[in-house]
Amino acid sequence: MWGQFFTPARVAVFVWEMLKEMVPAGDLSRFRVIDPAAGEGIFLSSGIKMGLLAPGQVTGVEIDPGLQPPAELKSRWFLADGLLDGGPAALSRGSFDLVVGNPPFGRGGKERLAAALSGGDWDGAGWLLAEGYEKKELARLVRLPVEALFLRRFLALCRPGGYGAIILPDGFLGNDRLQREREEFCRRARLLAVVGLPPGSFRAAGTPARTSLVFFRRRVGNPGEEKENGEETLFASTEFRGVKDHSDFFGTVLQTVRTYISWREKKASPGVTWVKTSELLRGRWNPNYWDPVLRAALAEVVFPLRPLGEYVEKISYGAILPGKRPELRENGVPVFGQKDLFFTGLNPRPALRVVPGGEFDPQRSRVRRGDLLFSRSGEGSLLRFRSGVYLGTEPANVSCFVDRIRLRGIDPVFLWLFLMGKFGRDQILRLKSGVGTPNLNFAEIKSLRIPAVPEAVQKTAAGLYVREILPLHKKWAGTESPRYALVEKKMARLVKAVETVLITGGPLHLTEVE
């Protein structure tokens, strides 16, 4: 109902370890601290147990009457909506030195604020006007996701010069539609650090959502007045290294911060880097986008690079028909879904065949020979780099989760081999965004950079696939035969051989594949 996903204790402890480094020594012991979406009280309780705070310093606000605070917080615990002023919590602007927490995200949690705004309740929602937002903006604000409203609320509760730490879903950090929110935030606060949390951090809480910790300091003075003096923001990404161990990753981040605090050295390590804050004003915040290894993914390529969009004639996806099931037809039109995109090519025996010309076979997404089929979403599809080139001749189509990309001026098989290799994969890892389901939109797909390789090299690579792998793929893909593993090894060698050409500029060595 409230969009609650409770924070693991190890994450809360890491937040305090980071704040110990960022906040001047001794200040935490004097800070007034609030968590306006306190949940089970893990942030405030952890700060007290670590000896950083006294119970009298903290305020916990929680909307859910079914949640009970730990003993050390009972005297400072208030049942209220953290998005509204007034009430027993006496929430007022600029009253706190530190605002910390994990607000709800998703669809729920903003109903009372929306009601207050629609009813003109300025006792509860007046903080928005006091922050300088005009009444004509408020209708737009209600349409924002609840996490965006809470980020504004964190800022409002924080005094000028005060600090904040908030967990946000990666969809907020990378979604183009929320760019205006990120720009507004940068006018009002300095972004100190964005630390991606390892995959699965909230799985025990009931969601696979990818999230990040955002640390900030509210600017002094009116929005936009405080000038930047070469400010830089720490970004820490789990993406390139595939981090699964919290302690190892958190330890690396803390060591990077401590080195800077002690020696003023901004040392980058795998996945951890510093970015000029001015670059973030009109940019994305998701840590994988700034991952130093992923950013340098194409540095080794010796050929000129061009955006994929220059080669795209048309891009589309299959029918979106929620709640409807396709009428199957034994000899109907095959529809390729995400699970039909194998490492070695498209499923030679697609299970789903539909009525020709029916709702699940729209002309706009019909597939023809040479089209690239690209899975654009999901941990098990996009992040397994599922794609393939249609090399058949019968009419075919794609599902709503697969993009059909029609190309010109480039060999589609060569392009596919490139995307399956590290240079394509690293770009996808860098650009992906989304909360529970990572995805790429059309603009991001078109922005992928492709090496302008001589046509003869492209044809050689494509020819090797068609001669050496495709016949075996057609025979063994989708079966339980152990022989398919040999086909996959052959494919891996071809992808590696293409990577070698891109690094050396030399010819494609056939012996590496055959």
Residue-wise pLDDT for 200-220, tens only, equals 666 555 556 788 999 999 999
Q: What's the pLDDT at 113? A: 87
Q: Would you place residue 357 in the very low, low, confident or very high pLDDT band (cuts 50, 70, 90)?
A: very high
pLDDT at 413 over 50: yes
Query: What is the average per-residue pLDDT within 399-420?
Result: 96
pLDDT at 241 over 90: no
Given the structure tokens 């893909």, which residue do they identify? 477
Q: How far is CA 430 from the centre of its chain?
A: 9
Identify whether 3 is part of a domain. no
Q: For residue 107, which of 197, 194, 35, 169 has the smallest C-alpha distance?
A: 169
pTM recorded for the entire structure: 0.87
Q: For residue 430, which of 295, 272, 238 has the smallest C-alpha distance?
A: 295
Query: What is the average per-residue pLDDT within 466-487?
Result: 95
Q: Do 265 and 343 lie in a common domain?
A: no
pLDDT at 242 over 60: no
Q: What's the pLDDT at 510? A: 63
Residue 139, exposed/middle/buried by CB under 10 A (0-12, 13-18, 19+)? exposed
Query: What is the average per-residue pLDDT within 26-53?
Result: 94
Identify whether 1 is part of a domain. no
Query: Which of 276, 295, 314 is the C-terminal boundary of a domain?
Result: 295
Identify whether 74 is part of a domain. yes
Query: What is the average per-residue pLDDT within 112-129?
Result: 82
* Beta carbons of 267 and 284 less than 8 angstroms apart: no
Query: Which of 270, 295, 320 is the C-terminal boundary of a domain?
Result: 295
Identify whether 300 is part of a domain. no
Q: Do 321 and 385 lie in a common domain?
A: yes
Q: Would you place residue 500 in the very low, low, confident or very high pLDDT band (cuts 50, 70, 90)?
A: very high
* Beta carbons of 360 and 397 less than 8 angstroms apart: yes
The DSSP secondary-structure symbol of 469 reads I
pLDDT at 56 over 70: yes
Q: Would you place residue 424 in the very low, low, confident or very high pLDDT band (cuts 50, 70, 90)?
A: very high
Identify whether 413 is part of a domain. yes
Q: Do 267 and 371 lie in a common domain?
A: no
Q: In this structure, what token pair is assigned to residue 253?
A: 């981040």
pLDDT at 224 over 70: no
Q: Do 111 and 24 lie in a common domain?
A: yes
* Beta carbons of 191 and 233 less than 8 angstroms apart: yes
Q: What is the spatial distance between Cα 332 and Cα 385, in angstroms, rounded to a whole number?
A: 28
Contacts of 79 (CB under 8 A, 6+ apart): 62, 63, 65, 88
Q: What's the pLDDT at 117? A: 81
Q: Do 312 and 286 lie in a common domain?
A: no
Residue 121, exposed/middle/buried by CB under 10 A (0-12, 13-18, 19+)? middle
* Residue 268 lies in domain: 9-295
Higher pLDDT, 347 or 238: 347
Q: In this structure, what token pair is assigned to residue 428?
A: 């996808």
Q: Do 164 and 44 lie in a common domain?
A: yes
* Beta-bridge mates of residue 196: 212
Q: What's the pLDDT at 514? A: 55
What phi and psi values does residue 165 have, to the nearest 5 degrees?
Answer: -140, 125
Q: Do 246 and 338 lie in a common domain?
A: no
Q: Do 364 and 233 lie in a common domain?
A: no
pLDDT at 54 over 60: yes
Q: Do 243 and 382 lie in a common domain?
A: no
Query: What is the average per-residue pLDDT within 141-146?
Result: 84
pLDDT at 246 over 70: no
Q: Would you place residue 1 in the very low, low, confident or very high pLDDT band (cuts 50, 70, 90)?
A: very low
Higher pLDDT, 509 or 146: 146
Q: Would you place residue 491 in the very low, low, confident or very high pLDDT band (cuts 50, 70, 90)?
A: very high
Contacts of 360 (CB under 8 A, 6+ apart): 318, 319, 321, 326, 327, 335, 354, 397
pLDDT at 2 over 50: no
Ranges 89-98, 390-399, 482-491: which has the least confidence? 89-98
Q: Do 147 and 94 lie in a common domain?
A: yes
Query: What is the average per-residue pLDDT within 342-355?
Result: 94
Higher pLDDT, 319 or 439: 319
Ranges 51-65, 270-284, 296-310, 387-401: which has the least confidence? 270-284
Query: Which of 240, 275, 295 is the C-terminal boundary of a domain?
Result: 295
Q: How many domains is the chain partitioned into structurally? A: 2
Identify whether 4 is part of a domain. no
pLDDT tens by residue, 148-187: 999 999 999 999 999 999 999 888 998 888 998 999 999 9
Q: Do 42 and 149 lie in a common domain?
A: yes
Q: What's the pLDDT at 513? A: 55
CATH code of residue 349: 3.90.220.20
Half-sphere exposure of 363 (CA within 13 A, CB side): 0
CATH code of residue 100: 3.40.50.150
Ranges 146-160, 224-238, 337-351, 472-486: which has the least confidence? 224-238
3-state secondary structure 47-98: HHHCCCCCHHHEEEEECCCCCCCCHHHHHHEEECCCCCCECCCCECCCCEEE
Q: What's the pLDDT at 442? A: 92
pLDDT at 264 over 80: no
pLDDT tens by residue, 60-93: 999 888 888 888 998 889 988 988 887 655 677 8
Query: What is the average per-residue pLDDT within 488-492?
Result: 95
The proportion of the chain whose per-residue pLDDT surpasses 90, expressed as a percent, equals 56
Identify whether 34 is part of a domain. yes
Q: Do 313 and 289 lie in a common domain?
A: no
Cα 91 to Cα 60, 258, 337: the distances in Å are: 11, 34, 50
Q: What's the pLDDT at 436? A: 65
* Beta carbons of 401 and 374 less than 8 angstroms apart: no
Identify whether 464 is part of a domain. yes
